[in-house]
Amino acid sequence: MKHLWYNIIKVYVKIGLFFTLKKISVYGSENIPKKGPILFVANHQNALLDAILIPTTNSRNIHFLTRASAFKNKLADKILRTLNLIPVYRLRDGKNSIEKNIAIFEQCFDLLKDEKAIQIFVEGEHHQLRRVIHLKKGFARIILGTLQKYPNLNIQIVPVGINYDKHLEFPCSSSIYYGKPIQANQFFDLQNPDYKFKAIINEVRNALKKLTLHIEDVKNHDEILLKLKAANVDFLNPLKANKSLENIDALPKIKVKKTINWLAPIYFMAKLNSFFPLLIWKYLKPKINDIIFTNTYRFALITTVFPLFYILQASVIYTFLNIKYALLYLLISILLGIITTKTMKVI
C-alpha cells in the first residue's frame, strides 16, 4: 500500500512538473544500477524542484533526506514520512536536535542494508551560484557508518547534475545528468577511518563538476556568468558550457533576434482564464524571503490552486449549462496550460 501511495504521488508530481517546466531532459539513465544500495548525490540550485526531479526521472524507489523544519506539524510529519522523506537536523534547529540525527543515520544504514536508494544534496544548502560549492561530510558519514555495521555491502554513489537555463523564471527548462556510479567501498578503511573523508569528497565533487556548469573562479563568478549569458551559452548542456570556460574571453557576443510572438493571444487567454490564481501568485511572490524558492511556490500553486480553480469554474458552467460544456471548458484550460508552458520564451 505504501508503494502504491508513493507511486500515485509520483505521477501527480510528474504532472505538476510538466506544467511548471518547459522541458525536462534526462541523460545517463543507463548509469543507474537497477538494484543494490545507492546514494544519489546532487548539486542544489532550485529548492524543492531539485528534490523532486531525481525521483521522477528514474525508476528507483528513493528515500529523501530533507530539512527537519518541514516536519514540525504532526500531520505534515506523518504524510512526509509515507513519501519516503527523512528529516535531517542542523544547528539552526537547536543544539539538542542534532542528537536526533544519530537515529536518522541508523535509519539510513538499514535502508542501504535493504538495498534501497537514498537521495542527498551533498552541498548541504541550496544556492544560486553556477558552481559546485564545497561538499558536506554527511553522505560520507552515512557510507562509513553503513559499512561499519554491514561490511559486506557494495555501496554505489550515483552523482547527479541538475541544470536549469534560468532558475527563477517561468517556464524554465531543466536537464538531469546521471554520472557513472562510483564504487564507495574503495574509499573507506574500516580499520583506520579518515574522518575528514578527503578522498571520497574530492571524487564526488569532481564528478559533479562535470555534470553541471562549474565556475571555479569564485571572485569573478558574476562577471564570467555575464560573459556566458552574452554568448548565449546553453546552461542545459554542462559539457559544452564548461568547455566555453576554457577560453571565456574569446566567446562572441550573440544578439538574440526578436521575433513576432504569434501565440500572444493564446497566452493572454490563458492568463485571463487563470485570473484568480495569478492574483494569488502576485500577492505571494513579493513575500518569498528566499528567492530560490520562487519556482517551489509556483509548483505548489500549479499543483493545487490552479486545478481547483478550473474545477470550480467547470462546476459553475455545469450548474448553468450542462456536463458537455463543463468538460469542454476543462479541456480548453488544459490545452491553454500546455501551450503556454511549452512555447513561452524565458526572457
Q: How far apart are CA 229 and CA 134, in angstroms?
A: 24
Residue 242, domain member (yes or no):
yes
Pair (112, 85) in one structural domain: yes
Pair (108, 245) in one structural domain: no
Pair (207, 233) in one structural domain: no
Pair (189, 60) in one structural domain: yes
Residue 216, domain member (yes or no):
no
Q: Are 299 and 56 in contact (CB under 8 A)?
A: no
Between the alpha carbon of residue 145 and those of residues 66, 134, 197, 207, the distances in Å are: 19, 22, 13, 23
Pair (98, 170) in one structural domain: yes
What pLDDT sits at residue 129? 92
For the cut 80, the answer to whether the pLDDT of residue 98 exceeds it is: no
What pLDDT sits at residue 197? 92
H or E stretch covering 65: strand 62-67
Cell of 225: 556568468
Residue 258, domain member (yes or no):
no
What pLDDT sits at residue 259? 79
For the cut 80, the answer to whether the pLDDT of residue 24 exceeds it is: yes
Q: How far apart are CA 79 and CA 166, in angstroms?
A: 31
Which pTM does this prediction carry?
0.92
Print the domain residue range for 149. Answer: 2-211
Residue 191, domain member (yes or no):
yes
Pair (175, 28) in one structural domain: yes
Pair (83, 169) in one structural domain: yes
What's the chain's average pLDDT?
90
Pair (167, 228) in one structural domain: no
- What's the total number of domains in the chain? 3
Residue 256, domain member (yes or no):
no
pLDDT, mean of residues 279-284 = 95
Which has more pLDDT, 252 or 165? 165
Pair (162, 298) in one structural domain: no
pLDDT, mean of residues 58-84 = 77
Residue 257, domain member (yes or no):
no
User: What sections of the chain are H helices per DSSP?
Assistant: 2-20, 47-53, 74-82, 100-113, 138-149, 198-211, 221-230, 238-244, 264-273, 275-284, 294-303, 305-320, 323-343
Q: Are 346 and 172 in contact (CB under 8 A)?
A: yes
Residue 311, domain member (yes or no):
yes
Task: Read off the amino acid at residue 124.
Answer: G
Cβ neighbours, 10 Å, residue 312? 11
Pair (165, 244) in one structural domain: no
Q: Are 59 and 136 in contact (CB under 8 A)?
A: no
What pLDDT sits at residue 158? 97
- Give the residue carrying C-alpha cell 539538542: 96
pLDDT tens-digit profile of 106-158?
989 999 999 999 999 999 888 889 999 999 998 999 999 999 999 999 999 99
CATH code, 177: 3.40.1130.10
Pair (279, 232) in one structural domain: no
Residue 11, domain member (yes or no):
yes
Pair (52, 149) in one structural domain: yes
pLDDT, mean of residues 37-58 = 92
